[in-house]
Amino acid sequence: MAMGSNDGDMMSEINVTPLVDVMLVLLVVFIITAPLLAPQALKIKLPQTESLQQKDKPDNSSLVIDSQGSVTIDANPVDDTALAQVLAVKSGNSEFQLQIQADQSVNYGRVAQVMAIAQKAGVNKLSFMTLTK
C-alpha cells in the first residue's frame, strides 16, 4: 500500500481555475466586440410626426444648417464664433427657444458641433424642425 493514498476515497474538490479563466476571456471578448456591433445593429428609421400647434409664442430663433454645413441664424449667415456670440445674447431671455433646421444630407457631426455651441452659450430650449406627413 502506498503512503498517503486512500484507495476508497474519491476526490471531491472541483478545480474552478480553468472555468474562471474561460469566463474572463469571454468577458473580455464581449467587452471589446459589443461597441463595434452596436452601430450596425441599430438600423432605425425615424418616424414622421403629426404637426402640433403651440399655444404660446416663445422667442424663437431659426438656425439653418445647409448641406455644406454652413450656418444661418434668423436669415443671417454666421460662422461658429459669431454664432456663439449671438446665442449668448439671445439666451438671456428665459423664453428663448432655438429651432434647428438641418438639411437631411448634413453630417451628424456638424449638427452635434452646433448643438454644443448652443449649449455652451446657455441655450436651454432646443427643437428640431421636421416635415409633416
Is residue 88's pLDDT more than 60? Answer: yes
* Rg, C-alpha atoms of the chain: 29
Share of the chain above pLDDT 70, in %: 77
CA distance 99 to 73: 10
Task: Decide the pairing of beta strands 59-65 and 96-102.
Answer: parallel
C-alpha cell, 4: 498517503
Query: Could you tell me the fold of the domain covering 59-128?
Result: Nucleotidyltransferase; domain 5 (3.30.420)
Angle at 96 between CA 91 and CA 98, to 5 degrees: 90
Beta bridge partners of 97: 60
Summarised one tens digit per residue, pLDDT across range 52-84 is: 666 656 678 888 888 888 888 888 889 989 999
Among 70, 80, 77, 69, smallest CA distance to 108 is for: 69
- The predicted pLDDT at position 21 comes to 94
